[in-house]
Structure 1
């Protein structure tokens, strides 16, 4: 699972974003890392195929200017920097990243039609490669591109037509639906982070007139936030240093289960960790997905992350640092395992 972070406040965003990204990258990211900030009407972007350590040493990520920004660490793929997120739209006015997969909505988007429309408008796709990369879109010419880059340009398309970012995100989710959460910046909304969440995890918090977002609230532990809450499912949001605003996406109401199965999921996770063996986050999420009714979008990752955060804070669960072979040849990606303290 990819991991994301966002900040809107009065301090330099880049150091905060990198800390939050590093706190999460072992949960499934670490194969690619990227950060984008907004300053004086311009998007500043740095990204690499590699972990945050490589992002720090090979780019100016730590010194990107601005008090507003987003960051992303992603799962394995092909060893190209151009496949790292966030993705900047071809008009350089929007930058966007996402966590999740097509899931329930596989085959619901006409990627070819959107590719043709955008290509005819002069859009360039740096992630496009001249071979098929599944499960990403495979075009009529046999090429593939990252679907999130396509979504970044769909978002920019709606935004350029006059929609504010929250409405443009809503339309993008309806046009190209996926089981994701996403973050975005726009040069037209210079002090603001925009975001959307369907069912994948996204948490928000506040400290000293600053707002924070992250895939897992484990990213907030070192930031000493005043309070933390989950972003509601099926909503868009905008946040600045002064305020945060949520808007529901009613289009997806029928796919959501109002009653979150906390008790059943907790029982399963307790049993899975009871033997004291270290477990990956993916195994924990997969174990509780069946708790949701057939046909409903599971929020397993959100629930698992919060279960683990509570366990870490109460010292019932500890983080075990490990590593795995990375997408970039010769590199290792950070890997965080969870182990019950017996």
Structure 2
């Protein structure tokens, strides 16, 4: 995850900005930069690689100035070069940015038509140009930001410097966290911006968490927060209690909830590392083998990650027309699998250290299989041993029950499926452009799904009293039903099972009565009618149905459900990523209602390093 630090100070800020970046290193990054204002000039220092490189540059070329912004960047759109490193400057405006601007391409084309020249490949530079252009019309930084924010589609956190206003910082957030820090009297009234409280821990413990759609103006006279409707609001100041040794839960009760709400930004960052929006293509990292030679795919994983493999099977077989086998890692070696030539073996793991999956990886390599790894920790054993590392950019996941790692893994699996399809000649340029368009919609669709948190919380009590819960889905929603059941089991200790909806009448329907809630995942589309038919069979036998669908689906089939959860209407390709959100939130709120240990459920560990 990228990181942001901003300081409106009473003395030079560069050293403290650099220290804040060091506290954000846990998020992962491959370039960094700092910008300050001094004597009417905007100055920047940016460096590729680790912070030590930026430190050397600052030592050689110090940055004076009492106001500044800083950033650590994971290369997403655009290589990890100095030109693509943040901060980005356009005229009088300098910006750092976490997230994704989904509509940056038409905005960039509009600005280029006005004669504006771009120096990077990033979407962030578009924001700087837009605000600078708005300054031409308004002459007022606040008015310029107010005009530009509604034009930005996606998930973002922004910190903005203005060359002609050395006593001002502006921040904004939508789908990506941003906090305001308030200095005490000893700090002379300094104020700060940060990705989280950890970045600001040495500067202040007095923190206000901006809410979705907020933007904030920091000046020497004070701080003013505005909501998405540009109304002045107050956000409570809390004492963070964060030290450099802690990863902060922010204003969330549990790490799991924080990580669920981080998904718009981390999925955006993950997708952006595989999508080339200007070319409208999906790309993978450089590799030493030819994807066109792949004749079959074997996916090996454990638990939640294995459901990523099952969803990937639907995608790869549909788009690339390659046969796919999905194996539970703990069983893989012991059945002595037949590993044929030209097989691509894919391992999926958050930690990259899962013992069963690591052993399966080594077994495949011993038999000459080319391997790829969808992994969240780039320094892990699996990441070092696979032939092709396909990193997720979920950042540290503290909650034992995987949430943001799961959706980021799905994003990478989709990228792999599309690349295999193109390599096998099964996907033309027009089809790939359409897929890129849908993938770029994912972060905002996740944000829309998260907006239903309160209604999911309200219905959780109904599920919390159950002894057994069943989940149903068809197609790619079948593995998602398995994942929903696993989440509920993991953290609420309620027995739950997931089924392909068409299999209900082949046995599981015997479990149905009025005491068994039935969670049905049914986005409208080609499989909707069949799923609803299976749901109605269960309702006829007393099942208490919770229907998760879009507006069209709920209008058609939601009348007899005891509860409904409305999702945004999305393309079937991205539906499993979006529909992961309500099953995660439902499991979380049921567990909270039952009073279980959400982040550290009994008998479970985050990384299973024993067989």
Instruction: Give the TM-score of the pair, scaled to structure 2.
Output: 0.39
Query: Deviation at 1:205?
Result: 1.2
More helix by share: 2
Give, in whole Å, the separation in 2 of the partners of 1:265 and 1:295. Answer: 25
Aligned residue in 2 for 1:172: 148
Contact 1:14 / 1:61 at 8 angstroms: preserved in 2? Answer: no
Task: Give the C-alpha shift of residue 165 in structure 1.
Answer: 2.2
Matched, 1:219 2:220: no
Cα distance change on mapping 1:74 and 1:261 into 2, 3 Å: closer
The aligned counterpart of 2:403 is: 287
* Cα-to-partner distance string for 1:35-86 (whole Å, 9 max, x where unaligned): 1111121101111222221111134587211100111111134132100011
Alignment of 1:63-212 (within 5 A): 63-77=62-76, 78-89=79-90, 91=91, 93-102=92-101, 106=102, 109=103, 111-112=105-106, 114-127=107-120, 145-207=121-183, 208=187, 209-212=189-192
How do 1:170-319 residues align onto structure 2 when only pairs under 5 Å count? 170-207=146-183, 208=187, 209-223=189-203, 225-250=204-229, 262=252, 266=256, 281-283=395-397, 287=403, 293=452, 294-295=567-568
Q: Check whether the contact 1:45–1:61 (CA below 8 A) recurs between aligned residues.
A: no
Structure 1: 4+ residue segments shifted above 6 A: 277-280, 288-291
SS of 2:24's partner is: helix
When residues 159 and 76 of structure 1 are mapped into structure 2, their CA distance, relative to the original with a 3 A threshold, is same
Partner of 1:131: none
Mapped partners of 1:201, 1:232: distance in 2: 8
* Higher Rg of the two aligned structures: 2
Q: Distance in 1 between matches of 2:257 and 2:223?
A: 34
Q: Compute the RMSD of aligned alpha carbons.
A: 3.6
Q: Are the equivalent residues in 2 in contact too, given 1:203–1:216 (CA < 8 A)?
A: yes
Using a 3 Å threshold, how does the CA distance of structure 1 residues 12 and 287 change in structure 2: closer, same or farther?
same
Deviation at 1:264, TM superposition (A): 7.4
CA contact (8 A) 1:18 1:62 kept: no
Q: Do the aligned residues in 1 keep the contact of 2:74 with 2:80 (CA within 8 Å)?
A: no
Q: CA deviation at 1:240?
A: 2.4
Count of aligned positions: 263
Return closer, same or farther for 1:146/1:226 CA change in 2, 3 Å cut-off.
closer
Which blocks of at least 5 consecutive residues in structure 2 are unaligned? 231-249, 260-303, 305-353, 355-375, 378-393, 405-445, 453-566, 570-577, 585-598, 601-605
Q: Alpha-carbon deviations, 1:173-199, whole Å to 9, x = none?
A: 211222111011112222111111112
Distance 1:267-1:238 versus aligned 2 partners, 3 A rule: closer
Secondary structure of the structure 2 residue equivalent to 1:161: helix
Alpha-carbon deviation of 1:234? 0.8
Residue 506 of structure 2 corresponds to none
Distance 1:236 1:174 in 2: 12
CA distance in 2, matches of 1:268, 1:18: 26
Aligned partners of 1:110 and 1:21: how far apart in 2? 26
Residue number in structure 2 paired with 1:47:
46
2:27 is equivalent to residue 27 of structure 1:
yes
Look up the match of 2:7.
7
**Whole-Å separation in 2 of the counterparts to 1:31 and 1:265:** 25
Q: Is the 8 A contact 1:169 1:195 kept in 2?
A: no
Give CA-to-partner distance per residue, 1:171-229, whole Å, 9 cap, x none.
22211222111011112222111111112111111222100111011112223x15112
Q: Is the 8 Å Cα contact of residues 21 and 199 (structure 2) preserved in structure 1?
A: yes
Give yes or no for contact 1:100–1:200 (8 Å, CA) kept in 2: yes
Greater RCO (CA < 8 Å, at least 6 residues apart): 1
